[in-house]
A and B are shown apart, each in its own frame.
Chain A
Amino acid sequence: MRDRAAPGARAADLRAILGRLEDPLELLAEDVLGLESRIDAVARDRRGGAVVVLRPAVGAGLEAVADALAQARWLEPRLPDWLKLAPDLGLRPERGARGLVLSNEISPRMRAAAAATQGRVELQRMEAPTAAWAAPAASLPPRALGPAGEPVRLRSVFRTALQDGDLDLRT
């Protein structure tokens, strides 16, 4: 579970946060579809390495360390494709991808888990969340409701012959 906020506000907020880090990062893309979930942001470090940035909700920091590791591993083989699509991003695929977890709370278990990744995942403590970060936003569009709060019966019908397993997003 991550914090969600209006995309524009989040991007501006995150860009500023990443730019102020000791090793500043440049925000490349926000809300990227990663391995079975969305990545809050993908950034680039000064050496051209890609950085998966996660901003977990309170209490989800340990899970985010594992997720950052998984998403970085997922992203790495895709970097050459990204570079072909957008050569100006300044990515250097040979530098690989790592994870960065931005969190208000960093627990001893998070530290131990991050240390076990041998530098593949780093932790960065943040100050109290800004309003932009704290504002929730649903990942699915809201269901249309009638005057009495009942689901609206639509005449338009969504069509697909596929199931989730067919989408095959991991290959």
Chain B
Amino acid sequence: MARNLEEVLHYFLEEEPHSPEGPAAQRAGILAVSVPPGDLLRATLVWNLAVEVAGSGISTCLLVPGASDAHTLWPPADPGDLQRLEVAGSGPEELGRAAAEVAAKPGRRPALVWVPIPTGVLLEAGAEWIRWLLLLTTPRPRDLARSSELAARLLTRSPALRLGVLVHGVARIRQARAAFESLAATVEARTGRSVWSYGLAPEGLDLYRALAGRSHLSGLRPEGGAARALRDAARWIREDLLQGFGGA
């Protein structure tokens, strides 16, 4: 009989030897994702990625920071397999505390908790809990320079951080590759650490349609480039989760 991936996840994840809840008490993964305040496009990408991961059998919870624009930023309804939890604040400590609570919730906890976090607070005190971060950047020089600087400083601060990069707003594969390699070169030169690629998201009408209709890319045009790119990113995220990254 086919089994849901969530049911067998504990075979792959490291278990706490003295957990009061026994072997089934594997830790949920917590993935922080940089979303600047009011950035509708990146919020749409993150929501779509979370939906993709949830649809692949990983029970997934999306924490939504309680900013004043939260209701316009995030699509109003989630597919059945994606949970959503609104957090009162948007500070790094509040988000970290909420994520840890969800990840440690007794009973039916999600396997993966997504934490969209304002880019500006990533370096603030209180954000040290982040062990797994997905940085969304465009290839535009200013954005790329900011992202490279942020990535280098985060990796300098947090030796245990796994930093993933998804390049969005691209028209060509080589544009995404060049952007990623530019960021990676800066980070490697300054920190000696690697960054992980989660691929790309093309700029195109599919994404704008999803954004305008507050709908899921795979539902709009499953074989479109944007939907396929996000499915790839979701697969890599799932694989990293199975390897235990982001464990609280």
- Interface membership of A78, Cβ < 8 A: yes
**Min C-beta distance of B55 to chain A, whole Å:** 18
Given contacts A81-B208, A156-B180, A159-B236, contact A167 B196 (CB under 8 A): no
Q: Is the CB of A33 within 8 A of B232?
A: no
Residues of B in contact, count (CB < 8 Å): 49
- Interface membership of B82, Cβ < 8 A: no
Which of B26-34, B121-129, B168-176 lies at the binding interface?
B168-176
Q: Is the CB of B171 within 8 A of A157?
A: no
Contact with B along A106-125 (1 / 0, CB 8 A): 00000000000000000000
**For the complex, what is the distance from the CA of A163 to the CA of B174, rounded to whole Å?**
9
Q: Is the CB of A141 within 8 A of B139?
A: yes
**Min C-beta distance of B144 to chain A, whole Å:** 6
Size category of the A interface is 20 to 34
**For the complex, what is the distance from the CA of A118 to the CA of B180, rounded to whole Å?**
44
A157 CB contacts on chain B under 8 angstroms: 197
Q: Is the interface of A mostly helix, strand, loop or mixed?
A: loop
Q: Is the CB of B173 within 8 A of A156?
A: no
B196 CB contacts on chain A under 8 angstroms: 156
- Interface membership of A168, Cβ < 8 A: yes
- Interface membership of B79, Cβ < 8 A: no
Q: Is the CB of B175 within 8 A of A81?
A: no
Q: Told that A141-B181, A152-B185 touch, could you supply 7 new A-B pairs with CB distance under 8 A? A: A154-B184, A157-B197, A158-B180, A166-B225, A168-B204, A171-B204, A171-B205
Residues of B within 8 A of A (CB): 40, 139-142, 144, 169-182, 184-189, 194-200, 202-206, 208-209, 211-212, 221, 224-225, 228-229, 232, 236
Residues of A within 8 A of B (CB): 7, 31, 33, 36, 38, 78, 81-82, 84-85, 137, 139-144, 152, 154-164, 166-169, 171
